[in-house]
C-alpha cells in the first residue's frame, strides 16, 4: 500500500492539548475508581465506629488528623464529581449536549457545581 509521507504527524506531547470534554471523561473514570477503593476503607471505619463505645472513640481518633481529614475531603469530592458528571453522562445518553459546544458548556457547568460541592465537603469534614 502506498503511504502518503507528507501527512501531518504530531508526536510532541508538549503541544497536544486535551479538550475539556476529554479531561472531564478521564476524571470521571478516575473518580469512579477512587470511590470504589475508598468504599472498603469507609465501610471498615463505619463498622469500627458502630462496634462499641471504644470503637467509636478509636474511629474518631483516626479521623482527628489533618492528613486523614484531607483524604476524606478528597474522597468526598471524588464522589461528588462522579455523581455530578455521571448525571451529565446519563443526560448525554438521552441525546442532549452531544455537540462539541454544548458538551463543553455542560462540562464547565458540571465543574462549577463540583467546586461548590467540594467547598461543602470541606465544611462537612472540618
Ligand atoms: C459506589 C458508588 C460508585 C462507584 C464505586 C462507581 C464506579 C464507577 C466506575 C469504576 C465506572 C467506570 C468508569 C469507566 O470505565 O469509564 C463508573 C461509570 C459510571 N458511573 Fe459510577 N460509580 C458509583 C456511583 C455512581 C453514581 C451514583 C452515578 C450516578 C450518576 C454513576 C454514574 C456512572 C456512569 C453514567 C458511568 C458510565 C460512564 C461512561 O460510560 O463512561 N456512578 N462508575
CATH classification at residue 71: 1.20.1300.10
Count of domains for the chain? 1
CA of 52 to the centre of ligand 1 (A): 34
Residues with CB under 6 A from ligand 1: 28-29, 32-33, 35-36, 39, 82-83, 86-87, 89-90
pLDDT tens across the length of the chain (126 residues): 666 677 777 677 788 889 999 999 999 999 999 999 999 999 999 999 999 999 999 999 999 999 999 999 999 999 999 999 999 999 999 999 999 999 999 999 999 999 999 999 999 999
Which ligand 1 atom lies nearest to the CA of residue 89? 35
Q: Is residue 110 part of a domain?
A: yes
CA of 70 to the centre of ligand 1 (A): 23
Which ligand 1 atom lies nearest to the CA of residue 93? 35
Q: Is residue 5 part of a domain?
A: no
Max Cα–Cα distance, the chain, nearest Å: 76
Q: CB under 8 Å, gap of 24 or more: what pairs does 66-72 form?
A: 69/125, 69/126, 72/125
Amino acid at each position: 500500500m502506498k503511504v502518503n509521507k507528507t501527512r501531518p504527524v504530531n508526536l510532541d506531547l508538549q503541544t497536544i492539548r486535551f479538550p475539556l470534554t476529554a479531561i472531564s471523561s478521564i476524571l470521571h473514570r478516575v473518580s469512579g475508581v477512587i470511590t470504589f477503593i475508598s468504599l472498603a476503607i469507609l465501610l471498615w471505619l463505619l463498622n469500627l465506629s458502630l462496634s462499641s463505645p471504644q470503637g467509636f472513640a478509636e474511629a474518631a481518633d483516626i479521623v482527628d488528623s489533618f492528613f486523614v481529614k484531607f483524604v476524606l475531603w478528597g474522597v468526598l469530592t471524588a464522589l461528588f464529581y462522579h455523581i455530578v458528571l455521571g448525571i451529565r453522562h446519563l443526560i448525554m445518553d438521552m441525546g442532549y449536549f452531544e455537540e462539541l459546544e454544548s458538551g463543553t458548556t455542560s462540562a464547565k457547568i458540571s465543574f462549577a457545581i463540583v467546586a461548590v460541592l467540594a467547598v461543602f465537603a470541606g465544611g462537612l469534614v472540618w
